[in-house]
Structure 1
């Protein structure tokens, strides 16, 4: 039998730890689970567990993210597309509510099924990151709803209301399994699409955003990155806008999306200085949402927004940044394979998306250097 490489052995150890952690969390829940017992279940030392995961919270988030990723991979498109935003929102709610625990479930297994974060995010930065992720979820849901027939309005606020309803129901059911009727909740979500809500005004800082700086920069766009919404590979050299956002700035994605020109490819690059926890939290939330969207919307109706994770900092480095953290916001406009505009700081995505038209006819895509 061929010997495993170091990387293969490390992956096998991580997989073993995750299986043991899933069993521990299902039996005891997050609060009562113990890393020592996880090590015993995995027949490994405590040190082996900590060499792969920074602690119990990172382990729990990894277990939840893995479950969400499996659900996303198994999601099948609907036989028929929803014929209105209301029906789409109701269908989304029905899919989302499938995770509600039943009265006979144990607390631990119910928490895992819910992807519950109760008692897990106990720091102010973690809670702030979650708030940004919920806003980002709402944007992605809204962009899908806006593709529905007859939907002429922005749908971010109804999407926020729907997610609030669903997460509130989940929090109640977590403590009182079996309470609430999922069909009633789905009907209520459907009606949220028709509530008359005034469009939010543009964020007050946008008129004061520093304009993007024109450039003529060649760059070697990193390859091999998947779009986490469609699963297709992303070519960052496509004409359009690339916005790198830390998890604590993800709500700024809407500023870039709304300002982009028709036909622009808009790519959100998610960066963090804490991939073990904040990065996994971001993956959990995105995989969870996209898994639901794929079961409601056909591939062509999914949000026209590409999302990639820059785990190793390759995208940031290619764009000239040595490091990036949860508060990062910088952006570039790409045309003809060149970076033709750069922006940095609050509103960078908006500034770059608004940058003046480029005479693409005079540009030829250069070879990467």
Structure 2
């Protein structure tokens, strides 16, 4: 057998791209070349085994892999008090999972087995977590909000992982256009969750005065401010339409829309990689339109039950709850519903999100702890 140093780089990439991410960890010690490759974000994004979902109930977390057979496995999350905590949101943050528990949140990398508990301030115990990002110095932070009992406006805070400190932003979401810097007015967030990409947090929103003209806003963790990033390509929107933003190949956006009237599904992708210098040059392309009569209704009646999805080659894979709360996996391609599978091992109305595995360590606190403390 050829020595590992003599194997062509392309062959090494092809072989390792078929290895599950949790198995890649032990291969990092083979050589410096392999360690550099395995830690490369582009390599992880192109891994052939990364397509999956995570589903969470009050006491259990499941992984659902589509490769191409659908496999469901119960996962172990080292949270001693998980059974007494009710998860509120489950958010994929570039390879880290953020699970908001109402009175705090868990940050978890399931492949490294690392967890960390984020404790809210005692004067704001009920806080809503939105996502994780990082600034120019690669300092990881969490974006969160709270509302005082007597207040009508939402207040925003960030949590710094390195110092374990909270910071009030003293700002409302009165955003500026990143290309013109003109004030646009107050906005309304869409019911679906946001996502983190390249250290920046994004979410679908609209101005209060033009409710159904949707765009993406971002929160820049370096300057700690909101901006309008770019317009969305879909038009003729209705508040009952399903509209979900996602990541594609780790560095682009994907957008799913389903009409509440016709059930037609449309998928858009951004043509080029997304950078943090503003969205004036963002171009969208129509990747898929499906209008088959057997398409499911992607229920979005509850903010925590939004559909989650990913693109697998030329197929769309969706996780969504039906009207009774049961989770289903739908595989769509060639203008047709290829298959659907009910996930009956999971209790109704689970939280769920698509997930791209990574070898990013959970950011440590000032004491360097990685284990969860409750």
* TM score, norm. by length of structure 2: 0.29
When you count helix as a share of all residues, which structure comes out higher?
Answer: 1
Q: Larger Cα Rg: Structure 1 or Structure 2?
A: 1
Higher relative contact order (CA 8 A, sep 6+): 1
